[in-house]
Structure 1
Amino acid sequence: MEKESLMYNISRIYRKLQFCLENKMKEYDLDRGLYIYLSHLLLQGEMNQQELAKAVNRDKAPTARAVERLILMGYIEKIISEEDKRSNKLYITPKAENIKQTLLQTMQTCEDDVLIEFSLEERQTFICLCQKFNK
């Protein structure tokens, strides 16, 4: 019964993706708590910390910790917003831009590895169902 459970199967997929990404991104010191934030900034561009937390569906505290680590590692910078001096905007640095393609390709490779047993049609259906779930 356990292997038929939705929770069991989703957690297995999640663990496989996490393991793959962590192993492939070790040389950049990006672990599971960081690459989700960095990849979102790389794909979506500048935003403030609150917008980032909402976009990746995380609480403010873990987002703040991840942002500080990414700043210390030189992947992003925080600059006071021109529009609202009380707010900071997050920007990617050249260091992050230099690994953008590697990060995106690695994410695709891990996804392909996890879905290797799926036909192209099954992959498309699976992705559509996941997107529907996340609306």
Structure 2
Amino acid sequence: MSRARPATLTLDAFIPYRLSVAANAVSQRVARVYAEQYGLSTQEWRLIAVLGEDGERTQLDLVKRTRMEKVPVSRAARALEDRGLVRRTQSEHDARSRRLSLTPSGRRIYERVAPAALEAEAEVLAELAPRERATLRTLLERVERSAIRALRPTP
């Protein structure tokens, strides 16, 4: 009688681990831009980046867009508001909801950091050919969609 061998986990071959390690390394490199120059946390920069690109959003929109939990989004929003980088206003449609937008100071930081973040991205991806970069983006989008689908409750 033969018994199946239990699967062994080899971290260096485990895609979720590799994605996490790569994401952390890339994030740390890009974080130098906004952390050293502007004293922003990763969560704060994510909110500034989304608001800079998308414009005014609710905190729930920011949770969905960044895939961050509600509490870190709320803390980052509060910290940015305290620093005068984000403005919070009451939603016209829901008295409990707050809409966030960049202040002129927040917009200036976004306009300064975004090009530097793109330079850091280019540095990190320098060993990849343009075609490989496009393939990587496509594959990451597909993995993300698949993971989101897997998170949905089953009927």
TM-score, normalised to structure 1, is 0.89
Match of 1:134, SS state, is helix
Decide whether the 8 Å contact of 1:3 with 1:9 is kept in 2. Answer: yes
- Taking only aligned residues, the RMSD between alpha carbons, in angstroms, comes to 1.6
Decide whether the 8 Å contact of 1:80 with 1:86 is kept in 2. Answer: yes
Q: Larger relative contact order (C-alpha < 8 A, sep ≥ 6)?
A: 1
81-90 or 43-52, which deviates more = 81-90
1:108 paired to 2:110: no
- The 5 A counterparts of 1:35-50 are 35-50=45-60
Q: Distance in 1 between matches of 2:96 and 2:20?
A: 39
- After superposing on structure 2, the runs of 4+ consecutive aligned residues of structure 1 that deviate more than 6 Å are none
CA deviation after TM superposition for structure 1 residue 113, in Å: 1.8
Decide whether the 8 Å contact of 1:49 with 1:64 is kept in 2. Answer: yes
CA deviation after TM superposition for structure 1 residue 12, in Å: 2.7
- The 5 A counterparts of 1:1-135 are 1-25=10-34, 26-135=36-145
Distance 1:3 1:74, change over 3 A: same
Q: 5+ residue gaps in structure 1?
A: none
Number of aligned residue pairs? 135
CA deviation after TM superposition for structure 1 residue 100, in Å: 2.0
Q: Distance in 1 between matches of 2:111 and 2:139?
A: 27
Q: 5+ residue gaps in structure 2?
A: 1-9, 146-155
Decide whether the 8 Å contact of 1:16 with 1:114 is kept in 2. Answer: no
**Amino acid aligned to 1:120:** P
Q: Distance in 1 between matches of 2:81 and 2:60?
A: 16
CA deviation after TM superposition for structure 1 residue 9, in Å: 2.2
Q: Which has the larger radius of gyration?
A: 2
**Amino acid aligned to 2:37:** E
CA deviation after TM superposition for structure 1 residue 112, in Å: 1.4
Q: Distance in 2 between matches of 1:122 and 1:36?
A: 25
> Could you say which residue in structure 1 is the equivalent of 2:152?
none
